Amino acid sequence: MVLDELWAALSGPSGATLACFLVAAALALHWSSHRTARGAAARARQRQQAALETMDKAAQRFRLQNPDLDSEALLALPLPQLVQKLHGGELSPEASLFTYLGKAWEVNKGTNCVTTYLADCETQLCQVPRQGLLYGVPVSLKECFSYKGQDSTLGLSLNEGAPAECDSVVVQVLKRQGALPFVYTNVPQSMFSYDCGNPLFGQTVNPWKSSKSPGGSSGGEGALIAAGGSPLGLGTDIGGSIRFPSAFCGICGLKPTGNRISKSGLKGCVYGQVAVQLSVGPMARDVESLALCLRALLCEDMFHLDPTVPPLPFREEVYTSSQPLRVGYYETDNYTMPTPAMTRALLETKKRLEAAGHTLVPFLPSNIPHALETLSTGGLFSDGGKSFLQNFKGDFVDPCLGDLISILRLPRWLKGLLAFMLRPLLPRLSAFLNSMKSRSAGKLWELHHEIEVYRHSVIAQWRAVELDVLLTPMLGPALDLNGPGKATGAVSYTLLYNCLDFPAGVVPVTTVTAEDEAQMEHYKGYFGDIWDKTLQKAVKKSVGLPVAVQCVALPWQEELCLRFMREVERLMTPERQPC
């Protein structure tokens, strides 16, 4: 009776008024809750614009003072030749820095890859150590590397206006090796995506085609380097974040073993997660540039500044060896169906390796679904996403994250219920949901032990067939913008090697053909779920875009991984510069 009277009252004019009031109040509350985020975004964009203007003025000033410098010739130099000319005095660090500064500004106009100018690189010119392996080389940095006086926002409003008090260890080592860190590059919000957009700086696009993603989370690096705006960059990788942008943009990138290069001073949004290892690694247009970067970083300075890093200098004899290799390979991981271009890239590379005298052996790591759905996802979200979600309070959520935030915000019981209900129809989504539930300390220790056992089992499998290295497909071509957030399962080719903590690098070997594109019409995926359907749509209209393969080695064998990558590069040698 009371409910009937209440309903009758709310159905009349007063009820309509009340409803309008409640809607208005909800909208006002929503607007107010995002006020801080809006302010942070406005300030970030203003600082970005001011930095870009400073870059442009500095580059123009240098050009006016040095009208005879052949900028195009300088930009065309491979990094090893650039270093040679800098050491020999044929080029000055000023010429190198300001030429790349101008090019980076130009590239940014079409890609939105640069977030800020590290202007004190100009003052560093007076004190660059000439004996350094990277003397006078401009180096771009993914925005997460702490740099004194600069914000590492990760695209999150709570990090805007919080400048670092000191340089991260790798930045200190770069400077001691004569490098000139000169720009920060864009990342997806929180860095937990293989796309590259955020509410502070907006969307970075692929330099080959602006409707395509550059990959992520080191997407700004991928776009800038591929388009010629930087000769060398540093990224990070916890699920493919160096390898996706390298593959999507047609450059080379290496994810080392987790602790080969110092992570001290990195900005993150979740600390203390050690089940799945984060790695710091180089990105460049060729493999020799990656090797040069590792030579420079793996030095006494790094080992002294961060004693937790094993003091393993670069092993030149492994990298320069020409001994035939015993190479494992697989055409598919049976989790993400490779696109026609991925399959062709893998098989063409296999054929040329065999013709060059290497031995190719079929090899597929065991139990890949368990490694992805239970070990990796469970490790990354053992607290149910609580620590991760803290970063988004009062903030906007970028579309690149897809439905991740909404899923993590579900209560534990609802995640479990949805996982149970989805299991018959959508087994992959069900498994991921189930692993995103929070767990006790005891269950987390059990998970760590499972990961350790799994790593040793794959190493034993590897040893049993006496492999040197492994060749695998690499996801490609680049997905449409915002596609990665809706194709989570496609991280399978990369995330596996973060779980295993094996070094892995990517090398571009071909481009998408019209025939590849036509064959995509028949692509179904292995599961026919939303991830497969999204991937099928997101890689269309890609003729001419780069496609890579992935090269893998056992832990601490970065030099062998690079030696294999160099061999693949030598045999395939595609044209990699976007128009």
- Residue 486 bears catalytic tag: no
Q: Residue 16: what pLDDT?
A: 58
Q: Residue 8: what pLDDT?
A: 45
Q: Quick one: how far is CA 519 from the chain centroid?
A: 28
462: amino acid identity, one letter: W
Instruction: Give 22's contacts (C-beta < 8 A, 6+ positions apart).
Output: none
Instruction: Please answer whether residues 323 and 465 qualify as being in contact, where contact means their C-beta atoms are separated by less than 8 angstroms.
Output: no
Tokens 């979600």, residue located: 389
Sign of the torsion angle spanned by Cα atoms 473, 455, 294, 225: positive
Instruction: Please answer whether residues 249 and 207 qualify as being in contact, where contact means their C-beta atoms are separated by less than 8 angstroms.
Output: yes
Inter-helix orientation angle 492-499/441-464, to 10°: 100
d(CA 237, CA 415): 27
Q: Residue 15: what pLDDT?
A: 56
> What's the helix, strand, coil split of the chain in %, to 5?
50, 10, 40
pTM: 0.94
Residue 141 has φ and ψ, to the nearest 5°, of -125, 130
- Residue 289 bears catalytic tag: no
pLDDT tens for residues 166-177? 999 999 999 999
* Greater pLDDT, 434 or 11: 434
Q: Residue 9: what pLDDT?
A: 42
Q: Residue 19: what pLDDT?
A: 54
- Residue 232's CB: how many other CB atoms inside 10 A? 26
Q: pLDDT confidence of 25, banded at 50, 70, 90?
A: very low
- Residue 282's CB: how many other CB atoms inside 10 A? 29
pLDDT tens for residues 502-526? 999 999 999 999 999 999 999 999 9
Which one of 217, 382, 430, 435 is the catalytic residue? 217
DSSP code, position 266: B
- The answer on pLDDT for 70 being more than 80 is yes
Q: What is the DSSP string of 51-99?
A: HHHHHHHHHHHHHHH-TT--HHHHHHS-HHHHHHHHHHTSS-HHHHHHH
Mean pLDDT across 404-417: 96
Instruction: Please answer whether residues 545 and 212 qualify as being in contact, where contact means their C-beta atoms are separated by less than 8 angstroms.
Output: yes
Q: What is the DSSP string of 211-239?
A: TB---SSSHHHHHHHHTTS-S-EEEEESS
Mean pLDDT across 223-231: 98
Which one of 168, 193, 218, 241 is the catalytic residue? 241
- The answer on pLDDT for 127 being more than 70 is yes
d(CA 504, CA 247): 12
Identify the helix (H) or strand (E) that includes residue 113. none
- The answer on pLDDT for 579 being more than 50 is no
232: amino acid identity, one letter: L
What residues form DSSP beta bridges with 504?
Answer: 255, 552
Closest CA to 128 of 73, 182, 67, 59: 182
Q: Residue 484: what pLDDT?
A: 97
- The answer on pLDDT for 536 being more than 80 is yes
Instruction: Give 301's contacts (C-beta < 8 A, 6+ positions apart).
Output: 172, 173, 176, 177
Mean pLDDT across 34-50: 96
d(CA 489, CA 10): 47
Torsion of CA 562, 563, 564, 566, to 10 degrees: 80
Mean pLDDT across 78-100: 98
Instruction: Give 217's contacts (C-beta < 8 A, 6+ positions apart).
Output: 142, 187, 188, 191, 192, 193, 194, 196, 235, 236, 241, 245
Mean pLDDT across 486-498: 98
Instruction: Please answer whether residues 447 and 439 qualify as being in contact, where contact means their C-beta atoms are separated by less than 8 angstroms.
Output: yes
- The answer on pLDDT for 301 being more than 70 is yes
- The answer on pLDDT for 556 being more than 80 is yes
Mean pLDDT across 52-65: 98
- The answer on pLDDT for 24 being more than 60 is no
Where b means 16+ CB within 10 Å and e means fewer, 444-482 reads beebeebbeebbeebeeebeeeebbbbbbbbbbbbbbbb
- Residue 195's CB: how many other CB atoms inside 10 A? 32
Which one of 103, 142, 212, 486 is the catalytic residue? 142
Q: Residue 402: what pLDDT?
A: 86
382: amino acid identity, one letter: S
pLDDT tens for residues 436-473? 999 999 999 999 999 999 999 999 999 999 999 999 99
Q: Residue 2: what pLDDT?
A: 36
Q: Residue 217: what pLDDT?
A: 97
- The answer on pLDDT for 277 being more than 60 is yes
Mean pLDDT across 3-17: 49
Q: pLDDT confidence of 573, banded at 50, 70, 90?
A: confident
Q: Percent of the chain, pLDDT > 90?
A: 92
- The answer on pLDDT for 578 being more than 90 is no
Residue 473 has φ and ψ, to the nearest 5°, of -65, 160
Closest CA to 237 of 208, 204, 280, 183: 280
Structure tokens at 121: 């690189």
pLDDT tens for residues 381-397? 999 999 999 999 999 99
Give first-to-last CA distance, the chain, whole Å.
73
- The answer on pLDDT for 551 being more than 80 is yes
- The answer on pLDDT for 187 being more than 70 is yes
- The answer on pLDDT for 136 being more than 50 is yes
Q: Residue 5: what pLDDT?
A: 40
DSSP-based three-state secondary structure for 358: coil
